[in-house]
């Protein structure tokens, strides 16, 4: 730990590890101790607390529910970017092309973070089905703070890495004057989206039924029983014949028996 960061004992780390597992189903290894300290130290300073044990008592006391949500936000936010693992969007493009004319396509980005994945889906569908075509994109996350970013659709130009220049021109508005150095997702794309707070580790709200569900780069944080439970919940929201997509470092082998593998990381519900 740096001289400016309070130390955390093994017992205190276990308290937070167990808490985030109960809330979000996320398994934090000992290697995440440095990350936890780095992300929560400012909160200790904000409250003038001497150590992590005091902060744990604060967030579990029930007296500060907003602080508990903020802690969850800080510990569950992961890196994302536009057109990450691009072959999945090539596959989505083919799904859209095979649809009968006029048929609506509904897609769920189930761990959407700050929205880059959801808006990549939007751009892909707009490219195939038209910006005013019959398609919807739902994004969800457990973190309220990242959902606010996603709903706004307003990003630093640094976030445009991976975004094809023609899509940046076609589907985004570059900021000028006080907004210089940023870009905004076109409102016509944002009109097709909705962003919801969803805890995948709990009973799902009524979100509808989907042709394609993206659950990428989040299962690596779950233990095997939690993976089975989370995927089982999401599969029940998949339309017959629908597709389920996971990250390149993930597999549903031994996780779900209902889905059939089409190619690595891409599955189909018969």
Q: What is the pLDDT of residue 4?
A: 65
pLDDT at 64: 87
Say what the pLDDT of residue 242 is: 98
Between these two residues, 179 and 88, which has the higher pLDDT value? 88
Do 233 and 144 lie in one domain? The reply is yes
Question: Are 47 and 167 part of one and the same domain?
Answer: no
The reply to whether 67 and 91 lie within a common domain is no
pLDDT at 51 exceeding the cut of 90: yes
Please indicate, yes or no, whether residues 232 and 134 belong to a single structural domain of this protein: yes
Residue 202 pLDDT > 90: yes
- Mean pLDDT for 51-67 is 93
- 31 in a structural domain: yes
CA distances from 118 to 16, 77, 107, 139, 194 (A): 30, 16, 9, 6, 10
Among 55, 76, 97, which residue terminates a domain? 76
**pLDDT tens digits, residue range 65-120?**
899 999 998 998 777 999 999 999 999 999 999 999 899 999 999 999 999 999 99
What pLDDT is attached to residue 76? 83
Residues tagged active-site: 39, 141
Do residues 58 and 188 both lie within one domain? no
Residue 30 CB: number of other CB atoms within 10 A?
A: 10
pLDDT at 2 over 60: no
- What proportion of the chain, given as a percentage, has pLDDT over 90? 86
Model confidence band, residue 220 (pLDDT cutoffs 50, 70, 90):
confident
Check whether 161 has a pLDDT greater than 90.
no
Q: What is the CATH number of the domain that holds 217?
A: 3.40.50.150
Q: State the residue range of the domain holding 55.
A: 10-76
- Given 54, 76, 98, which residue is the final one in a domain? 76
> Does any domain span residue 81?
no
- For residue 219, being part of any structural domain is answered with yes
- My answer on whether 139 and 66 are in the same domain is no
Do 44 and 170 reside in the same domain of the chain?
Answer: no
């Amino acid at each position: 730990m740096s001289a400016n960061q309070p130390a955390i004992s093994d017992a205190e780390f276990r308290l937070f590890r167990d808490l985030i597992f109960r809330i979000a189903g996320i398994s934090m290894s000992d290697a995440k101790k440095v990350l936890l300290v780095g992300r929560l130290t400012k909160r200790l300073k904000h409250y003038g607390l001497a150590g992590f044990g005091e902060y744990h008592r604060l967030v579990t006391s029930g007296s500060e529910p907003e602080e508990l949500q903020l802690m969850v936000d800080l510990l569950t936010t992961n890196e994302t970017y536009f057109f990450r693992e691009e072959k999945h969007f090539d596959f989505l493009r083919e799904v859209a092309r095979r649809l009968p004319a006029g048929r609506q396509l509904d897609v769920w980005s189930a761990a959407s973070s700050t929205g880059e994945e959801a808006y990549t889906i939007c751009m892909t569908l707009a490219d195939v089905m038209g910006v005013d075509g019959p398609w919807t994109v739902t994004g969800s996350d457990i973190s309220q703070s990242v959902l606010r970013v996603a709903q706004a659709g307003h990003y630093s130009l640094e976030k445009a890495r991976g975004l094809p220049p023609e899509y940046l021109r076609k589907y985004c508005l570059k900021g000028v004057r006080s907004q210089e150095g940023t870009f905004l997702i076109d409102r016509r794309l944002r009109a097709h989206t909705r962003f919801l707070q969803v805890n995948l580790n709990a009973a799902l709200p009524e979100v509808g039924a989907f042709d394609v569900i993206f659950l990428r780069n989040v299962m690596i944080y779950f233990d095997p029983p939690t993976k089975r439970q989370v995927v089982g919940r999401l599969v029940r929201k998949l339309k017959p014949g629908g597709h389920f997509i996971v990250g390149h470092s993930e597999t549903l082998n031994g996780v779900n028996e209902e889905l059939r593998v089409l190619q690595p990381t891409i599955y189909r519900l018969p």
